[in-house]
Amino acid sequence: MKSKTAYLTPYFLWIALFVIAPMALILYQSFFSITGHFTFGNYEQYLSSGVYLKMTVNSIWYAFIITVLALLVSYPTAYLINHLKNKQLWLLLIILPTWINLLLKTYAFIGLFSQNGSINDFLRFVGLGSHQILFTDASFIFVATYIEIPFMILPIFNALDELNPSLVNASRDLGASAWQTFRRVIFPLTMPGVKAGVQAVFIPSLSLFMITRLIGGNRVITLGTAIEEHFLVTQNWGMGSTIGVILILAMFVVMFLTRDRKNKGGQIR
């Protein structure tokens, strides 16, 4: 028992210092005004201000679009990789871009999407002229989805890799088509991987701020950019912490909605 406690102690310390303590500090700071006085005004302002409510809706909407697009790309990709001969190598090639600094990848897309970038050079070459690609909603969603895709592919790939092939073969032996097998066997059994991927993409997408600034410009305003503004520009740490608390609550809501529900009994359809 003592040895087990000794092994668990570092994990408990890590969680206490780097998870619980920062969250408690943000919650504590959210009850102070910009002048340092205790107040509930930050929450009142957030709930009564149309600007913050619009930011919240925008954040949820953009996170939803990014998650859906990432899922539509990631599931077929993970399914294809799972059937390749050297699937671990292909998976590594997909994960490799996550090792590159996020800022570097963002600036690379700025070079591609700018007026003098590679894409506009190609459009001018084929006679279509240059277009405003950078600082648009589409460019922001594209870049954010590209960056989040590996985090969606990995849990889905793991779920597909752990799928028992005999269940798929049994479905086909019973006369089910490929689509019926996917809809009734493969997809339901890999749903835990899908839910884990949704958590890994949707939650970070709620608080994006660097990509919104560099790729979306001032057209994309989310809660992440509001937090950056309050902490770095207006120095209103109380309001910034309040928005942080809202994002933490949203994180728990998403985790609750996408939790793995295990039924005690089976269901025949």
Instruction: Given CATH 1.10.10.10, say whether it is the number of domain 25-257.
Output: no
- At 61-74, the pLDDT tens digits run 999 999 999 999 99
- How far apart CA 45 and CA 242 sit, in angstroms, is 10
- The model's confidence at residue 236, banded by pLDDT at 50, 70 and 90, is very high
Q: Which of 48, 66, 56, 28 is nearest to 202 (CA)?
A: 66
- How far apart CA 215 and CA 93 sit, in angstroms, is 25
Quick check: helix, strand or coil at residue 240? helix
- Mean pLDDT value across residues 249-255: 91
Dihedral sign for Cα atoms in the order 216, 218, 219, 222: positive
Dihedral sign for Cα atoms in the order 134, 137, 139, 145: positive
Q: What is the CA radius of gyration of the chain?
A: 23
pTM of the shown model: 0.89
Q: Which of 82, 70, 93, 69 is nearest to 190 (CA)?
A: 82
- pLDDT at position 266 is 38
C-alpha count within 13 angstroms, C-beta hemisphere, residue 58:
22
CA dihedral 249, 253, 255, 258 (to 10 degrees): -170
Q: Which of 45, 70, 68 is nearest to 55 (CA)?
A: 45
- Mean pLDDT value across residues 165-186: 91
Highest mean pLDDT: which range of 95-109, 144-158, 166-180: 144-158
- At 83-119, the pLDDT tens digits run 998 899 999 999 998 898 888 999 999 999 998 889 9
- The model's confidence at residue 217, banded by pLDDT at 50, 70 and 90, is confident
Instruction: Read off the tokens for 159.
Output: 């779920």
